[in-house]
Structure 1
Amino acid sequence: MASSSGVVSEEQLLCCICLDVFTDPVSTSCGHNFCKKCLGGYWDNSDHWHCPLCNKSFENRPDLSVNTFISETAAQFRKSAELNASSSAEDSPSKLTKVLCDACTGVKKKAVKFCLNCGASYCGTHLEPHKNIQILQKHKFIDPVENLQDYICKKHERPLELFCRDDQTCVCLFCTVTDHKSHNTVPIEEESGELKAQLKKTQIEVQKRIQDRLEKTEEIKQSLELSKKSTEDEIAGGVEVFTALICSIERRQAELLGVMEEEQKAAERQAEHLIKELEQEITELKRRDTELEQLSHTEDHLHLLQISPSLCRPPHTNNWTDISLNTNSSVEILRRSLSQLQKTINNETEKEIQKLKQRKQKEATAFKWFIKNWTQLVLLLPLLPLVFLMLMSNKMWIQFYAVDVTLDPDTANRFLILSDDGKQLRCTNLPRNVLYSSKRFFSEPYVLAKEGFSSGRFYYEVQVGDKTDWVIGVAEESVDRFEEFPDGTWTIALWNSNKYKACEGSCKSLSMRKKPQKVGVFVDYEEGLVSFYDVEARSHIYTFTGQSFTKKLYPFLSPCHVLLEHGNSAPLIISKEYQSYTWTVFQKIGLF
């Protein structure tokens, strides 16, 4: 939903609990706003009252009244959004109704068809000759469109009727006897039909994944209920045992109950995290399912072929087959031990509680990828002395996050040549004969790495040497393969030997004192940072800040075209110098 007001944006009117526009908004004393029902439900399920955003605690449950100003603003926003949606629905066929008949004189009627052979749009009346005259009945028609240039061959000014499978582009009949002679060409209707069949398979796969995730969500909810019931039963049993021993183990009883409750809370946190990820994937898959359903009924074959590479594969999702909620309870073992060891309860209870704590710590480590904040703290603690020593010896601490980058040949533009080990990249003037891939870049000599990152920090270095043109940075997994300057990329670039740019959709000029020979790229996913460094000079070049990453990021490179006046034929080389040391350290602590 786009913003409907120039003053207040949608994000300012969203409740952080239900993620929808406020309904009966109330304000806490710390200045944060929530739906009255959402905040009430949140507090009903909590042991104490605190702000869901800043965690400020309240001694007594606040008696909150509806904030009329925010309520009226939200109502106006919702009304404006509904009007925009209604207007969009009415305007959706406007691409057809705006086109007028080319044959009408005086007041022109709305066109109903566009003839590719005649190059003209016709209303129902002037379309009759094409229905009645035999020679005109062979003409091809499409729905009226305004962007006629996209349906006409720019070279021969003839309708685009065929699809060249060798070059993955639409061509006219004249193209098949000139530039595309001897190429494998088929009617665009045939290629569109095959693509629709492929899209249907993808849609079936998406629907299956939705169903799998719905079932997994239900399984986790049921597991959580069983875990909760089991925990309640174990608590009752524990209280019964400790009642008989209350004189000697009152303090141990409280400690045990605390461990058990913490175990249950950890299970609930784990379940909430898994359910949230599943719901996010379900939302994304449903959105893709809707897009595929709409495209499966389109008659605009050319438009379908032009956007097909990004839709032929299901969106990336996690493999949930082996992921489940841990509902095993270890309290029964402890309860039996306590019953058998009543005479020596003080010593033996202490031992068993320590064992329980150790077991809980191991279980928490097993779910480290789902409890990311705890993971980073546990994993980085062993590194603190090493980090301190490196800082004291003037080593670049960023190299602790160095990763082994290998370029992906399936994404490489046809003008790029990769080394066998995927560490070197150069551009050529002659295109290679490569298999079609929806992941491949078509417009510019770009390439992605095989490895992507959706959390944490990573760092890599590229040897640029004396090249006159290059592009280095990171890109989202879904970056457009046909755009010359695609969105979803964060890069720095050198043009014409002396023009340095920082590009994020648009570009800004950079001032460089010295030409770098090796460029380092550092990404902090959670903090939204992408930084670039001159490695040899150990100096900072530029940093993109305040980014909100939601998709997997990949190293993104281009050696740029080989220029006759400058050469620029030297390769980009991914550095290996730092990896032999830091990579071993990370493997020892289990980070990779």
Structure 2
Amino acid sequence: GYVECGPCTGKKQKAIKSCLECLDSYCPVHFEIHEELHSGQHHKLTNATGFLQDKICSRHGKLLEVFCCLDQQCVCLMCTMDDHIGHRIVSALAERTEKQSQISGPKMKSQQRILDRKRELGELQKAVDSHKQSAKAALEECKKTFTEIICFIKKKQSEVLDLIQTQEKIAVSQAEHLLKQMEEEIAELQRQDEELQQLSLTEDHIHFLQQGGGGVLVWAGIIKDELVGPFRVEDGVKLNSQSYCQFLEDTFFKQWYRKKSASFKKNMIFMQDNAPSHTSKYSTAWLARKGIKEENLMIWPPCSPDLNPIENLWSIIKCAIYKEGKQYTSLNSVWEAVVAAARNVDGEQIKTPTESMDGRLLSVLAKKETYTHKKFFFHLIEISYHSNKNHVSSSDYCELTMDPNTAYRRLDLSEGNRAVSNQDRDLPHPDHPERFDWPQVLCEQPVCGRFYWEVEWSGGNGVNIAVSYKSIRRKGGHNECWFGCSEQSWRLYCSPFRYAFRHHGKETYIPKTNNSTRIGVYVDYNAGALSFYSIAGKMILLYKVQCEFTEPLYPGFTV
């Protein structure tokens, strides 16, 4: 990397000067010696260079000092008087200055091309890096998308399989129920036929008359403090589905039902016993055509005889007609006694069991969980309210309205804040400290005491039906904001495929047994009871939880 000192022995030192006379280069030490030896001789010196031989004329051995313009070469002074005599001779400095001016243009162009190429190289490198990043991002996105698709397909597969299994269970259950009804009706008909056959073979005329015509079949009903009937079934008629419906047409519908208002008919609950002729498919369809649909029908709960107020009426009538062991010698006398006893029934004796039904029904809902239809439930509430009883206050059954200040920015409230939907876009809701950062909303009314409400939902993604303390977190990306993820809220998830209950982050799967989109919620605050029901003609308990509530509860929804 440097010009070596010629006189140095061993390790050569770096030269600082070259002598054009001596044709050698010297380090600082040997340069001082050179100067002392040639003092006053004026040797021509230059900065250290390694090309000394190239600067000596090969012909004359003299230093090349000038330039021949004709032959375009450096020559010594002797050459100018020999081979180059008469040629245009200039100094090396002058020729260099001219040559340097000539190459400045190409040099600038060359430098510009270098800059251009460097810039193009940088842009190309950026493009390569960008393509690499794009390819990497596309690969990751592709992996993520296909992973999500696979998970979605697996989830949908599981949901569809669950739905098929659930529908299979429902269909089998319905078929088994119908088979059981038909078997019971056939068994009843066979029993009646056997009794008639045995009766027809007896030779005792008195026994035949006593057994073959010794009873009166009576039908009656009650509503509030009003007695409907009694009505007598014609002698000799054995009730089956067809004769039962014809009897209702000739008595109940013609003489009483058609006189009632449309509003009364809509809210009425038609309660009957479990006889096969009453609960058969034929009778149910016939009653539906008469305006009493399946959701307005209620059979006597077999596990809850305390919910059969008509039994109390029959007990009163039976005690009256058989008072002191009285016996009757004809069917007409029995019928006349029944009519007289029914007319003498005190209105209070009818009102008392019906007005106390709300309290007994609430007790059943809270403890026995017997299946009971929700319209019967509301009908009993109406009885209690209009009779000025205090079992259930009207404020406990007011309609719920959602609080717009809590609604997520994409939730749209409608129908007087009684309906909510997710619009998938931001709506012009003003900022509010109580507004959720999640697709949720709370109701305005707190739940205290005993409270029941129903929710109608729709949509393929499902909804959350919840109760929550008002102190639940509203802002930020924390799980505590979601209903069911903390100790402050309880929620039931409903979708077309499944139910699931969640509290404090713990989820419980609930098998789906029907396709109902109506959910009933019952809260007994003081007892610490929370129950969810599926409403599909009858109330089916989905889930019940027992806990201690420490703050007022507010109904809420995730959409």
The alignment's TM-score, normalised by the length of structure 2, stands at 0.29
Which structure: larger Rg?
2
